Chains A and B, each alone.
Chain A
Amino acid sequence: MAQSTMTSRRYLVLAVITLTAAFGDTLLARGMKTLGPVSPRHPAELIHAIFSPWVAAGIVLLIGFLASYLSALSWADLTYVLPASSLGYVVMTVLARWWLREHVSPVRWLGVLFITAGVGFVTRGPSRTDNDPELPHAHEKELAVR
């Protein structure tokens, strides 16, 4: 049974997922560029990378991402949370254009349009579908609807 249980607090959790994932990945990339290529023969260098300031800052944001992501997955489907939290790419592109004054090609704007449309599609639907028999209380909810 489809359910719409979204509240303003839950939309806020989706916003936190969006921003921490986008900024966390950017900080990781910035840190790894500073350190240079890691050889497949020396994977321990990846452990060393964790302690560099940029990568460490990225990890802090990604821990925030994981906490809000887990919270969202406890009340919404994976196929709802993933597209709904992809607006971070739109935010990053808009910031790049108007804050960093980078050139954003028409193809990238088309990409922004596609993502916005995808987010619009999924957020107009229910956040949770109870097809999984493992869901706590799924059976009771089904009986209540009947």
Chain B
Amino acid sequence: MDPHTELATAAMIAAIVLTATAGDILTVSAMRNVGDLDRIRAERGLSGAAVAVITNGRFGLGVLCLALSFFSLLFAFSHRDLSLIGPAATSLTFVTNALAAKIFLRENVDRRRWIAAIFVCCGVALLAF
């Protein structure tokens, strides 16, 4: 790959990773705000659970970011191979999500979870070979 192509590939992967991470964090934040969906569905039915999710503002923003990530992914698939874009974007998203979950969601990302994230990240990257 020439430097221009490499830069374009890196930009496509960065766009997917950043929008996916923002979407995931906003969606998780919304779901925590809503509460356990299994319990809500048992109390208010499927439509009640759907309304509880859809009317949450953060969920709307999260879906917008995930939609941007989806179109970035479609765009990247039309230019590069799945075997390159898929593992690269997914493995980086594991690490950015773990960092963002610790900072923004205050999840207890202990040593076990860091090891898991890094193992999965390395494993997915190795699948590209």
Contacts and interface: CB of A to CB of B under 8 A. Distances in A.
A105 B129 CA distance: 8
Nearest to A129: B108
B77 A119 contact: no
A101 interface: no
A79 B107 contact: yes
Nearest to A2: B108
Contacts, number: 170
Nearest to A7: B38
Interface of A: 2, 25-26, 28-29, 32-33, 35-38, 40, 43, 46, 49, 55, 62, 66, 69-71, 73-75, 77-80, 82-83, 86, 89, 93, 105, 107-108, 110-119, 121-122, 124-125, 129, 131-132, 134-137
15 contacts: A38-B75, A43-B75, A73-B32, A75-B37, A78-B105, A82-B93, A82-B94, A82-B97, A82-B98, A107-B129, A108-B129, A110-B123, A111-B126, A112-B123, A136-B32
Interface of B: 24-25, 27-29, 31-38, 53, 66, 70-71, 73-75, 77-79, 82, 86-87, 90, 93-94, 97-98, 101-102, 105-110, 112-113, 115-120, 122-127, 129
